[in-house]
Amino acid sequence: MIRVLGIGDNVADKYLHTKTIYPGGNALNIAVFAKMFGTEAGYLGTFGDDEIGKHVYSVCRELGLDLSHCRLEIGENGCARVHLVDGDRVFLQGNKGGISRTKPPVLTELDEEYIAGYDLIHTSVYSFMEQELPKIRRAGKFVSMDFSNRLEDAYFQQCCPYVDCAEISCGDMPEEEILEWIRKITEYGCRHIVIATRGSKGSFVMVDGKTYEQSPCLIKAKDTMGAGDSFITCFLVNYLEGISWATDFSEASGKRGLTDAASYKDMLIRTCLYKAAVFSAKQCQRDGSFGYGKEVELTERDKEVMKTV
């Protein structure tokens, strides 16, 4: 089994309509979902010392994530506010990452040695780790970064040379535009894979220049929070575990079944996409990104934000 490390953002999604907080954040979600597969996983980021930070930290410990290189700071943990409007969950004003934004980890040589022990390193646009990407690249075997919907040429040019896999969220974007962004991302330096998620429309994935499309496994969702993160995790964990088996058989081996690395790789990618679609659908059956909700009292700021809906 490969080892997975999330570096950067952790938050709590505060559901104002139920007065409940759920742990989340892109980098943390990837580590947690990897742990669900039985993979050894860790998280490296900054926790605040408020009620939200304490809850997220305690859940991470309960799940068995390695937190040995995390930073603990005085201040607000990242918090995103969510409200129910006409049956749909709507994101409201949060605290823009809280302590993760103001005090993201500055990686030391000890951190780099720690990172080098993992097979998949994942960070995100919400992690505020751009200045640390050269260190992550230097230490990491395979580096993944989620750009969400920040589709900016200059930002891709800054970050893509350091990543093996880039993820983007495309929603209702026309297919031609999605494919153009995928092409640009590879030209800007992304080395291996681009994953473009589209919610209920499925996904496009390019691996080493070959493009695949995957339909979603549509179900009646309870909560779609973290669905894209679960898709990305499932695909990458299964792909990285499987690709190490890619081998070209000798001529003397014959041609029965799969006997060349290219055919095996194609089958692996399609299988991994199928698994990712199924796993993502299952995650939509729970509240929050991965459960572990805690009831809290709404603050005066929460109430003010609710008035803007």
40 pLDDT higher than 60: yes
* Domain around 88: 3-302
Question: What percent of the chain lies above the pLDDT cut of 70?
Answer: 98
Structure tokens belonging to residue 105: 């980890």
Residue 307 lies in a domain: no
273 pLDDT higher than 80: yes
Residue among 131, 124, 127 nearest 106 (CA): 131
Alpha helices (H) in the chain, listed in sequence order: 26-36, 51-63, 99-102, 109-115, 133-139, 153-159, 175-187, 227-243, 261-283, 300-306
Residue 30 lies in a domain: yes
Q: How far apart are CA 282 and CA 294, in angstroms?
A: 21
Residue 162 lies in a domain: yes
Query: How many Cα atoms are found within 13 Å in the side-chain-facing hemisphere of 204?
Result: 22
Per-residue model confidence as pLDDT tens digits over 283-307: 988 888 999 999 999 888 888 888 7
Q: How far apart are CA 10 and CA 98, in angstroms?
A: 10
- Nearest 5°: phi and psi at 157? -60, -35
Per-residue model confidence as pLDDT tens digits over 147-201: 999 999 999 999 999 999 999 999 999 999 999 999 999 999 999 999 999 999 9
Residue 193 lies in a domain: yes
Provide the pLDDT for residue 304: 86
Residue 308 lies in a domain: no
DSSP string, 13-25: EEETTTTEEEEE-
First to last CA, the chain: 46
Q: How far apart are CA 24 and CA 130, in angstroms?
A: 20
| Integer angstrom CA distances of residue 97 from 5, 25, 47, 74 | 19, 9, 10, 14
Tell me the three state secondary structure of residue 197. Answer: strand
What CATH number did the domain enclosing 166 receive?
Answer: 3.40.1190.20
Residue 309 lies in a domain: no
- For tokens 């900016």, name the residue: 152
pTM of the model: 0.95
Q: How many domains does the chain have?
A: 1
